[in-house]
């Protein structure tokens, strides 16, 4: 064998050995390397099992499937929410990242034996990430169940028993362009302390604000799974809601005479946060209270009109022989002073009427507000 041939043979041999000994690092891993525990971008831990299942603590589970073993590419399908992620293992097998340009936020780091991500043994929980989707000319927050889970992890650094009790989306329309866009505010309650914490998330950051005093934000925790905001908006529009959405609220409402209900208030529509159905009754109880106030006001007004038609500013004027404000000896069929609720209401209305026509505005307001003085009692009978 000539020297030239020998050198050529050795060159091929070296190249062949090099190719066998030094594989392309981009494809050094396979799908099996995903098995194990990972710190997830939304907080919490995702465990991938060898049987193709996965569990996110807290709150979700699903399946994973190897879609490109040579490149270490895997497809994740989540049971709650129906989300699908296309991810790829890092060359060193310690990281996961999305291959979908629209989901670049999907990342994870492998957890080592010490229970921390191998990339940073001293890393603290990262901020929650606000993801959005187009809604006309605006961006609408999505993946709010996952966002709430991440915010809960942060809130429990404040109080271990912190529970999320409400979510509010607001479209900010500030003069400063950098302060415009969607904002999600999650309210937390500490049952042991009775205090609250606000976690506000925008596209730029996450902020927390503790309230070291009693709060009345509600005491029932939101469930980990609920109808996401884009779905609630779509349902509301399908049922007649018009225009862009500038605000939406998710709460557990307790309407009078009905069990508590989880519901989105979107525009002029109420969407069941569990089933996605339109709710056609007032879950807040506001309308019933408002109507009751108007009925009380109308009752007082009728009493004043009856008094005015009597034509007298003193005593108990009568209309057609019926006393507008009869006493026990008036001969009226109105209830006597028997301590009944009806009699109390009657006397209160009568006193307000006398103060309105015989006294000053201050007298009327004082009696209307239940601040009857000794002098008022002698003048107006309150």
pLDDT at 295: 65
Q: How far apart are CA 331 and CA 322, in angstroms?
A: 8
Tell the residue number behind the tokens 């109808």, with chain if given: 227
State the SS3 of 284-315. CCHHHHHHHHHHHHHHHHHHHHHHHHCCCCCC
Structure tokens at 30: 């396979």
pLDDT score at 293: 61
Q: Which of 38-42, 303-307, 321-325, 378-382 has the lowest mean pLDDT?
A: 321-325
Q: Which pLDDT belongs to residue 319?
A: 34
pLDDT at 337: 45
Helix (H, G, I), strand (E, B) or coil at 32: helix
Predicted pLDDT of residue 262: 94
- What is the structure's pLDDT at 141? 94
Domain boundaries, the chain: 26-110, 131-283, 287-380
Task: State residue 151's pLDDT score.
Answer: 93
Distance from first CA to last CA of the chain, Å, rounded? 127
| Average model confidence (pLDDT) across the chain | 77
Does the pLDDT at position 83 exceed 50?
yes
Question: What distance separates the 2 farthest-apart alpha carbons in the chain?
Answer: 141
Is residue 276 predicted with pLDDT exceeding 80? Answer: yes
Helices 341-358 and 286-309: crossing angle in degrees, nearest 10, is: 60
Residues 6+ apart with CB under 8 A from 367: 351, 352, 355, 376, 380, 382
SS3 264: strand
Average of pLDDT values for 247-253?
94
Distance (Å, whole) CA 49 – CA 28? 21
Convert the pLDDT of each residue in 282-303 to its tens digit: 877 655 555 556 666 666 666 6
**Second CATH level (architecture) for the domain 26-110:** Beta Barrel (2.40)
Question: What letters, b where the CB count within 10 A reaches 16 and e where it falls short, cover 212-247?
Answer: eeebeebeeebeeebbbbbebbbbbeeeebeeebee
């Amino acid at each position: 064998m000539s020297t030239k041939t020998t050198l050529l043979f050795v060159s091929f041999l070296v190249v062949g050995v090099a190719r066998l000994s030094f594989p392309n690092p981009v494809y050094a891993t396979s799908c099996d390397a995903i098995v194990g525990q990972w710190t997830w971008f939304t907080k919490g831990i995702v465990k991938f099992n060898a049987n193709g299942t996965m569990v996110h603590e807290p709150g979700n589970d699903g399946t994973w499937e190897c879609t490109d073993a040579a490149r270490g590419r895997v497809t994740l399908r989540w049971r709650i929410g129906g989300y699908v992620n296309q991810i790829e293992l890092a060359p060193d097998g310690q990281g996961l990242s999305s291959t979908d340009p629209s989901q670049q936020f999907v990342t994870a780091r492998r957890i080592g034996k010490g229970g921390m991500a191998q990339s940073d043994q001293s890393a603290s929980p990262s901020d929650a990430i606000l993801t959005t989707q187009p809604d006309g000319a605006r961006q609408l927050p999505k993946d709010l169940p996952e966002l709430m889970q991440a915010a809960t992890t942060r809130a429990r650094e404040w109080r271990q028993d912190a529970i999320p009790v409400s979510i509010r989306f607001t479209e900010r329309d500030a003069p400063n362009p950098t302060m415009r866009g969607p904002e999600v505010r999650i309210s937390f309650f500490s049952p042991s302390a009775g205090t609250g914490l606000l976690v506000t998330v925008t596209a730029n950051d996450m902020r927390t604000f503790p309230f070291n005093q009693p709060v009345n934000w509600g005491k029932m925790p939101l469930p980990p799974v609920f109808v996401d905001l884009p779905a609630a908006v779509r349902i509301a529009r399908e049922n007649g809601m018009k225009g862009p959405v500038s605000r939406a609220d998710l709460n557990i409402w307790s309407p009078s005479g009905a069990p508590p209900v989880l519901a989105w208030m979107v525009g002029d529509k109420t969407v069941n946060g569990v089933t996605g159905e339109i709710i056609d009754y007032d879950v807040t109880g506001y309308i019933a209270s408002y109507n009751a106030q108007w009925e009380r006001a109308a009752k007082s007004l009728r009493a004043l009109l009856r008094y005015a038609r009597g034509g007298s500013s003193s005593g108990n004027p009568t209309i057609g022989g019926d006393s507008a404000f009869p006493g026990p000896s008036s001969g009226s069929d109105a209830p006597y002073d028997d301590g009944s609720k009806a009699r109390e209401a009657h006397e209160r209305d009568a006193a307000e009427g006398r103060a309105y026509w015989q006294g000053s505005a201050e007298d009327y307001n004082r009696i209307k507000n239940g601040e009857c003085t000794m002098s008022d009692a002698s003048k107006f009978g309150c």
